């Protein structure tokens, strides 16, 4: 069974090499680059010739699906540039796909924030389908959705985890926060959601407070110290800012 690793990139010169080094054991590596202005593509060329350049116009999932379509493997391992496959996980992947009857596998992620592994906040084990048969799954268009396989019996959970170095600085977090909330607000507007007077307490007080308390208390964000507090507060602010931007879109249109 041939395995293709598919990675979508954009200005990832600081992260992509370690990601590529962790998947050298794969049969094929496919890169879809979103017009990087740094050395990302140059670094990728040292590892693979299967490189596509495409302007996703903000829809990063489109590029991930483009890479999946380009891949020739029986199995797809979909990764981001800030993720790494551990040696143990690599052995497990190679073992399971040999005689598997499943359509896909959930892989847990150890998410790191400002250099520390976050164990609470709902960030671990953070299972997501990343290994699947070609044609069995794709990335949804919505930015906050993940690949899905409808039949639970056709999926299984791998034992070993991957490493996800999610945010390396607060500046990086703020940039992604701004882009993420803008995209979600646009998706909400297109789906017909509107901020009304009656909805203001729900959108700007109740929902943000609910998510903060859920992550900080129920999902034990307090165990991660100041990082956990920041993550839980940022989750609440993501909801607040998304609906603030949705209101701004309404006003403009």
Are 75 and 131 in contact by the 8 Å Cβ rule? The answer is yes
d(CA 6, CA 76) in angstroms, rounded, equals 7
In this prediction, residue 125 has a pLDDT band, given cuts at 50, 70 and 90, of: very high
| Dihedral over Cα of 196, 198, 201, 203: its sign | negative
* Residue-level pLDDT at 58: 83
* Residue-level pLDDT at 142: 83
* Residue-level pLDDT at 126: 95
Could you give the domains of the chain? 3-167 (3.90.550.10), 170-252 (no CATH)
Are 31 and 9 in contact by the 8 Å Cβ rule? The answer is yes
Using alpha carbons, select from 131, 134, 141 the residue that is nearest to residue 190.
141
Are 136 and 149 in contact by the 8 Å Cβ rule? The answer is yes
Q: What mean pLDDT value characterizes the chain?
A: 96
d(CA 200, CA 203) in angstroms, rounded, equals 5
Q: Is residue 57's pLDDT more than 90?
A: no
d(CA 172, CA 21) in angstroms, rounded, equals 23
What mean pLDDT do residues 21-37 have? 97
* Residue-level pLDDT at 192: 95
* Residue-level pLDDT at 59: 87
* Residue-level pLDDT at 145: 87
Q: What is the pTM of this model?
A: 0.91
Which token pair is 150?
A: 């409808």
Q: Is residue 253's pLDDT more than 90?
A: no
Burial of 65-83, coded b for 16+ CB within 10 Å and e otherwise, reads: bbbbebbebebbbbbbbbb
Reduced to 3 DSSP states, what percent helix, strand and coil does the chain have, rounded to the nearest 5?
Answer: 45, 20, 35
Q: What is the pLDDT of residues 141-200, one digit of tens each?
A: 888 789 999 888 999 999 999 999 999 999 999 999 999 999 999 999 999 999 999 999
């Amino acid at each position: 069974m041939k395995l293709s690793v598919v990675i979508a990139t954009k200005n990832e010169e600081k992260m992509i090499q370690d990601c590529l080094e962790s998947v050298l054991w794969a049969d094929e590596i496919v890169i879809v680059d979103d017009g990087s202005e740094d050395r990302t593509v140059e670094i990728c060329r040292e590892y693979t010739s299967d490189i596509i350049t495409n302007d996703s116009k903000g829809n990063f999932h489109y590029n991930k699906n483009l890479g999946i379509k380009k891949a020739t493997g029986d199995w797809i391992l979909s990764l981001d540039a800030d993720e790494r496959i551990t040696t143990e996980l690599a052995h497990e992947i190679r073992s399971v796909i040999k005689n598997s009857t499943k359509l896909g596998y959930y892989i847990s992620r150890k998410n790191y924030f400002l250099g520390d592994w976050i164990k609470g906040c709902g960030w671990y084990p953070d299972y997501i389908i990343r290994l699947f048969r070609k044609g069995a799954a794709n990335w949804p268009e919505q930015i906050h959705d993940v690949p899905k396989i409808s039949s639970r019996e056709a999926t299984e959970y791998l034992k070993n985890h991957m490493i996800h170095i999610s945010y390396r600085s607060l500046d990086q977090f703020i940039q992604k926060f701004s882009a993420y909330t803008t995209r979600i607000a646009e998706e909400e507007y297109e789906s017909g959601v509107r901020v009304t007077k009656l909805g203001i307490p729900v959108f700007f007080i109740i929902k943000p407070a609910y998510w903060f308390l859920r992550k900080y208390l129920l999902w034990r964000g307090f165990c991660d110290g100041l990082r956990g507090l920041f993550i839980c507060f940022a989750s609440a602010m993501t909801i607040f800012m998304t609906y603030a931007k949705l209101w701004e879109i309404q006003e403009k249109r």
